[in-house]
Structure 1
Amino acid sequence: MLRQPPHHLLACPTCQADTNNGFTPEQQNCTACGQQFFDLQGMPCWFDVGLAQQQLWESLYALAIKSGQNNLERNRQRNLSDMLPSSVKRIHNMDAVNNSIVEAMDVLLNDMGLNKTVHPEFANYDPSRMLQYFELLLRDWAWDGAQHQAESENARELERISAAHKAIDKPLGDTWVIGAGAGRLSADIHHHLKPSHTIALDTNPVLISCAHRLVAQQKPWQLPEIHPGPQLGIPLTKVWPMNAPSYTNMDTWYAVAGNAWRPPLKQHSFDTLITPWFMDVNGREVRDLIGQVQKYLKPGGVWINTGPLLYGPDITDMHRYSHEEIIELLEVAGFEVIYQNKVQSPYLDTPLSEEKRIEQIWTFAAVAPSEFPPTYADINPPAWIVLPHLPIPTNQTFNTHGNPVLEHLVAQVNGTTCINDIADIMRPNLGEDKNPLEVVRGAFLEYLLK
């Protein structure tokens, strides 16, 4: 049975048609654009690329299992004749646990109904990205049992979100957790803080399938762990049982597989958006995330963010914004920052190790403007240049210099269009090596505003 969120939160991820204008969740298609979608054991898998996402996942699944089996076969061919019996025993034990990890992943994805089929267009893809966040599965659903509950990472993260929620002092309402991962935080929030509905959305098939299995299906699982370095008095390996806690009222919590940048969700329909450990690792710069959050929040809605600022290599130095810069960008967008907190906290603190990684975790809660577009701050460059999702005001003076291309750009300005919109219009006319956003923003800065 398809566990679909309520209609008032849904829209086609491909064309943004809502359920009154072509998107039919029950049939998993959109008559407005013709896109087809799929589910896995009742979990909606609604991507803007439709069934191509299923083929990608099937290919990654098959390639990952094959890669794991090949690695195990190579290990079996090692020459251990010069090793102590105790060393041989340890190596064979690690091989067995590695084999169990492969089998556990096979069980998870096979039970979800995913086929192991390599489609030609995805045959050369790297399957390792499916297991990129393997430790999150253990952190969310396994390690609690070996730690004092109040000291677990999951409990501390819920406490940070609860403090932000308390500072806002209003119900969470319809809530979207962006980058929900293996789902534990979203489920804890739903159980303890009681939003009206919670959408736990992630693009990783292993993580979101685990969330759906444990929370929605209430099916236990088990997952082995191998720690790479010996720790005195601590085993190298352990098989962890995985079960969801005794949650209540989870019939309005939904695991959804989707792309955070093209979600199957209706714009301006959420009371609360939560971004846990997402701001610095989503592949886009912070200004884009502010625009995406503002696009899906209701006027006056709340954004709660928590996590570090550990930007990945895909973010250039110029876009590695500081905490102070991010607050300033929020204010330019019209947000009112109500709450901020900074703590140091262990991260991925496995019971199989006495070493601990400590992260600085920054949590904030900000209220979106009650009207959009907000009243712009008097800054230079203009707010709508700094944040290209903000509409360009019609009272802005432009100098086209009689250039027909510039006149075409200015003709798009109607009080609701923004630089992002104009970049989308210009995209088909630009070469693949050109960034439409930078071209359009550059045209305004270098010519139209001078």
Structure 2
Amino acid sequence: MAQDDIALIGLAVMGQNLILNMNDHGFVICAFNRTVSKVDDFLANEAKGTKVVGAQSLKEMVSKLKKPWRIILLVKAIQAVDDFIKKLVPLDTTRYFQDLKAKGILFVGSGVSGGEDGAPYGPSLMPGGNKEAWPYIKTIFQGIAAKVGTGEPCCGWVEEKAGHFVKMVHNGIEYGDMRLICEAYHLMRDVLGMEQSEMAQAFEEWNKMEVDSFLTEITANILKFQDNNGKYLLPKISDRAGQKGTGNWSAISTLEYGIPVALIGEAVFARCLSSLKDERIQASKKLMGPQKTQFEGDKKSFLEDIQKALYASKIISYAQGFMLLRQAAIEFGWTLNYGGITLMWRGSCIIRSVFLEKIKDAFDQNPELQNLLLDNFFKSAVENCQASWQWVVSTGVQAGIPMPCFTTALSFYNGYRHEMLPANLIQAKQDYFGAHTYELLANA
């Protein structure tokens, strides 16, 4: 008689850790992997002594599952998912319809965030898809998810088809957050000339302030870390950053839906530029920039300005992310609970921060809020940071420091707050050379 509560296909690090998490919460899991030897290795090592069982084939796997089958695919996007679905569908002999719903398969696409630590101890989960599936998986998903506040799970039903989109936006914001911190670090290092220990201390102090977050915390830890020779590791690490698909997808979506989420785009492009290491080495020998001079201002004051610029830019990053979610909801007819989404991001996920509580408050107070910048708290926060933000950007530009995300965040803010932008000249030019016509102002 089938006894297993759920099966998971895909035994990479995240898959293994999620299985161990579910086991710790009392669920019986069947593990399967396309390379079957990984199942045996997992059971003999990481899962040794647990109730986790393995399967040598998909047929064996489903034979061990309670009805209705609950199967998690934790494999590479698109092709691998399609391949496994095609293999699983024939095993359900009572249904032979064209799509998954017609075959009786309730498909759920769930974003998962938290990294290797989040998977075993409680990830952030963002499920969406066929809502009929939610009662069957709710106990498991909310049981293993991270908990915040008085025990609220960082997991709730998102909306049909929206689970992975919400995760994509989360990852886009993550790209922006990571780049903003890099730019703050660059200013500390090359403008203020701070030592590594000083920078670590600064980020530790910032982690008790408005920019308190997981990424701020680990930045301090990374800056402090020394190798076996007692030397700081960070300066030895290559400055060539790779990228996965989620940042790209977020940037592409902004163009597709016509939403100016420029900060995520610039974060992606900054990684692309970093990958041109060999070209940059050659360019550094030929291309001139401002002469390096010693900073002559008040270093402590400017460090505070950098923190404020980081805070204001983070607000823009999240504001743009929710703009993208709102536009997608319009495009697809989704009803998204933005406060609920924020709750899912408050624990375990990479962008978790105290900052998110304020976003949740904003959407709880006004679910129809068009933009975070129009909320009183965030309006005041950006206004209080504005002078420092402008000073940091102008100082960095004069020093020749690349700050694509600080500058695009400030440009977005300045553009968003302008009633009249110079795009009227674009309309006029288009009409001049192409007879495209133009739209007149209502009061013209």
TM-score using structure 1 length: 0.25
The structure carrying a bigger helix percent of its residues is 2
| TM-score, normalised relative to structure 2 | 0.25
